[in-house]
Amino acid sequence: MNGPVRRIVIATHNTHKTGEFRALLGAGWEVEDLTMHPELPVPVEDGATFEENAGLKARSAAERLGEAVLVVADDSGLEVDHLAGRPGIFSARYAGPGAGDAGNRDKVLQELEGVPAAERGARFRCVLAVARGAEVLACFSGAVEGRLTGAVAGEGGFGYDPIFIPEGHEATFGELPAAVKNGLSHRAKALEKLLEWLEDAELTSPP
Ligand code: IMP
């Protein structure tokens, strides 16, 4: 490992997301999330876009954690062509509050019942906002194209992973090894851009 370990707080309570960031960032980063900061309020995600929601989550945590902490917020979701881009920013709560991942997947599968394979195109999109203090410094996005299955397949990943087959594969993100998902995911692509920017901005250590 080169250089000192750098600290980053991911503004999420979704430990699956945190686990992916940990795997993607590797040993040079100490990755925390909001489950380790129960004192921080959970902001209302009332933005109209992934960018707005990522920005408000990042700012909410960063302004309370202070200037020495680099905060990254992830707002992400599934866009289904046949559903005019839904669930989109409503992915986490598509089937209503408390429905959870299984309820959300079932709702999407029901809405696509009878839709042929060629018309089941979809993509995961991720926007990452990086903030320090009260300021959102930059946003980066990534997407992975694919199609939806007719039924749940696999137990890996989270959210809509068991119904999403990424382009170039014949198995869902729920079936594919985590390393395969992390090699091509929307999150990985956005994070790659963010890391390049961080290196250029020399913001990886406290001021
Ligand atoms: P957020 O936490 O408000 O950004 O909501 C993200 C939601 O989008 C999650 O709860 C999942 O339903 C979905 N989602 C985002 N990224 C992924 C992924 O990598 N795999 C599966 N579902 C995802």
The number of beta carbons lying within 10 Å of the beta carbon of residue 163 is 27
Supply the pLDDT for residue 201.
Answer: 81
Ligand 1 atom 7, closest CA: 92
120-142 pLDDT, tens per residue? Answer: 999 999 999 999 998 999 999 99
Reply yes or no on whether the pLDDT at 188 is more than 80: yes
More confident of the two residues 127 and 207? 127
Q: Is the pLDDT of residue 63 over 90?
A: yes
**Catalytic machinery residues:** 75
pLDDT at 37: 96
Query: Residue 73 belongs to what H/E stretch?
Result: strand 70-80
Q: What is the pLDDT of residue 4?
A: 76
Q: Is 197 in the pocket of ligand 1 (CB under 6 A)?
A: no
Query: What does the pLDDT average to over 60-66?
Result: 96
19-44 in b/e burial notation, b at 16+ Cβ within 10 A? bbbbebbeeebebbbbeeeeebeebe
Q: Which two tokens stand for residue 54?
A: 């990522």
- For residue 36, report the distance from its CA to the centre of ligand 1, in Å: 20
pTM, two decimal places: 0.95
What does the pLDDT read at residue 5?
Answer: 74
CA of 171 to the centre of ligand 1 (A): 19
Note the pLDDT of residue 43.
94
